[in-house]
Amino acid sequence: MTKITTRTVEYPADGLTMIGHLALPAGADRRPAVLLGPEGMGLSDVERGRAEALAELGYVTLAFDLHGGRYLSDPEAMLARCMPLLASPDRMRGIGHAALDVLRAEPRTDPDRIAAVGYGTGGAVGLELGRDGVNLRAIATVNALTTGRPGEAARMRCPVWAGVGSEDPIMPPAQRSAFTAEMQAAGVDWRLVVYGGALHAFHHPPVDHPVVPGVGYHARHAQRAWRDVVDLLAECLTTTS
């Protein structure tokens, strides 16, 4: 049985040399593809593992980088990098487009069947690609209910799925309401799943470094959110040859 293959890819974005993780399904045919974005700390083995799991399901997957190969384990360093980034839709789009170009350039990728899946800051990047009118088949975001510039959500061309913990202080009910109001006003096919009792980054296994307050792992909901994302991809990306 042929197994998936992986390789590291370097590409420029945001004035940095980004280091992504590309996972390819078995075989040689063109496949639907997923652009996978990490939490604000940056690309880690968690996202690399998810990229490989998606490749096992038949998707060409690029887990993209946010910080030029760095993983920002210090919360202050992470916030100092991510807060200005989250405040700049154009910078987020630049990071997203650069990674998307790499994914599209992969010969195994079917350029007409690409979805974006992101967590935290990586999810915000995916949403900005949608607001920029990129031809995506689906956008899934966990912990990233970020709103965009007025009117730009109307350019979204695909279903949007969002997941959030009910006790997430970083994405509180007011932010949920603003996000869903934006999606509804734009006529987007949107869904929001609120996972009861979960904090911010509930999907991410515990880490051995400090985190910002309000962050915590919820194993049961992490599994549920993963299944919800996989179901969205199955709905919106045809995985048969």
What is this structure's pTM? Answer: 0.96
Helix (H) or strand (E) holding 192: strand 190-195
Distance separating alpha carbons of residues 33 and 77, to the nearest angstrom: 32
Confidence of residue 36 (pLDDT cuts 50, 70, 90): very high
Distance separating alpha carbons of residues 173 and 94, to the nearest angstrom: 29
Mean pLDDT rounded to a whole number for the chain: 96
Confidence of residue 240 (pLDDT cuts 50, 70, 90): very low
Name which residue leads in pLDDT, 62 or 213. Answer: 62
Q: For the chain, what percent of residues have pLDDT higher than 90?
A: 95
Checking DSSP bridges between strand 60-63 and strand 109-119, what pairing results, if any?
unpaired
Distance separating alpha carbons of residues 188 and 180, to the nearest angstrom: 10
Contact predicate 59/34, CB 8 Å: yes
Phi first, then psi, for residue 197 (nearest 5°) are: 85, -5
Contact predicate 176/145, CB 8 Å: yes
pLDDT digits (tens, 9 = 90+) for 98-143: 999 999 999 999 999 999 999 999 999 999 999 999 999 999 999 9
pLDDT at 23: 98
| In the predicted structure, residue 65 carries a pLDDT above the cut 80 | yes
| In the predicted structure, residue 186 carries a pLDDT above the cut 60 | yes
Q: What is each CA distance from 208 to 39, 74, 93, 128, 211, in whole angstroms?
A: 15, 11, 31, 31, 9
| In the predicted structure, residue 241 carries a pLDDT above the cut 50 | no
